[in-house]
Amino acid sequence: MYITVWNENVGQDCEAVRAAYPETLHGAIADAVRGKDATVTTVTLDMPEQGLTNALLEKTDVLVWWAHAAHDQVSDELVAKIRERVLRGMGVVFLHSAHLAKPFQALTGTSNTLCWREAGERERLWTIDPAHPIAKDIPSCTVIEHEEMYGEPFDIPTPDETVFIGWFQGGNVFRSGVTYKRGRGKVFYFQPGHESHPTYRQPEIKKILYNAVRWAYNPNIEQNAPSCPNIATPDEKL
């Protein structure tokens, strides 16, 4: 399995982010998803072709996407290529503020807006679907001591599956882990992971990322986009 972790890596040179993730945010995410079954690459927006050359995208089985401040800088051409590869079978995991990432909006068809508050409050992440592969070995309730609050209403399509729901100390709830199928590809959105809190170091959260990437992996990615064949001859007599 070939995993590519994409991070916009914009504005992450402030002290708070460096304190939480001295090895960079994408480094921490890569660390969480690593395994003997996987090769992991990290790329950033400032690299050639915004980090995702055609060759790398074709090689990628599961893409993990973290973004916050630079959604608008991602080219529509790249968005279209990502969506097209997901429809052929690539898995994709959108993290935290990537709810507003263009590729996620292009796959859901919705705005994916939500309510939010930066207060470093406590989140309790409840496992709603305990038999789901993404919840394997995850307890009923995972406490994250400090997180940014993301709250409902979350403007997403009815999820195929809701795996986690978050409780926030300040009084809000959120569908924190949801799945969709799009074409032959699987999509997972996961809410925790504000850049100034070390959420991606927490063992349960690392395990969820690890599980999510394995769940999203489809070994049979198609070489070509779904096409629109004209079947000239019917199978049955007309």
- Residue 69 pairs in a beta bridge with none
Q: How far is the CB of 73 from a second copy (least distance, A)?
A: 18
Cβ atoms 211, 134 nearer than 8 A: yes
Binding to a second copy, residues 145-164 (CB under 8 A): 149, 151-155, 157-158, 160-162
Q: Is the dihedral of CA 57, 3, 217, 198 positive or negative?
A: negative
Instruction: Single out the residue of 39, 73, 75, 140 in contact with a second copy (rule: CB under 8 A).
Output: 140
Rule CB under 8 A: is residue 203 a binding residue for a second copy?
no
Q: Which residues have C-beta within 8 Å of that of residue 53, sequence separation ≥ 6?
A: none
Would you put residue 37 in left (φ > 0), alpha (ψ -120 to 50) or beta? Answer: alpha
Rule CB under 8 A: is residue 169 a binding residue for a second copy?
yes
Nearer to a second copy by Cβ, of 9 and 176: the residue is 176
Rule CB under 8 A: is residue 91 a binding residue for a second copy?
no
Instruction: Single out the residue of 51, 166, 177, 192 in contact with a second copy (rule: CB under 8 A).
Output: 166
Question: Per the structure block, which two tokens stand in for 31?
Answer: 């660390």
Binding to a second copy, residues 218-237 (CB under 8 A): 218, 220, 225-232, 234-236
Find the distance separating the first CA and the last CA of the chain, reported in whole Å. 47
Question: Per the structure block, which two tokens stand in for 35?
Answer: 């395994």
Nearer to a second copy by Cβ, of 26 and 71: the residue is 71
Coil/strand/helix, residue 3: strand
Cβ atoms 89, 184 nearer than 8 A: yes
Rule CB under 8 A: is residue 72 a binding residue for a second copy?
no
Nearer to a second copy by Cβ, of 22 and 130: the residue is 130
CA–CA separation, 89 and 87 (whole Å): 5
Nearer to a second copy by Cβ, of 35 and 153: the residue is 153
Preceding omega of 192 cis (within 30 degrees of 0): no
Q: How far is the CB of 177 from a second copy (least distance, A)?
A: 12
Instruction: Single out the residue of 128, 201, 202, 204 in contact with a second copy (rule: CB under 8 A).
Output: 128
Coil/strand/helix, residue 39: strand
Binding site for a second copy (CB under 8 A): 83-84, 87, 89, 100, 106-111, 113-119, 121, 124, 126-131, 136, 140-141, 149, 151-155, 157-158, 160-162, 165-173, 175, 180-185, 218, 220, 225-232, 234-236, 238
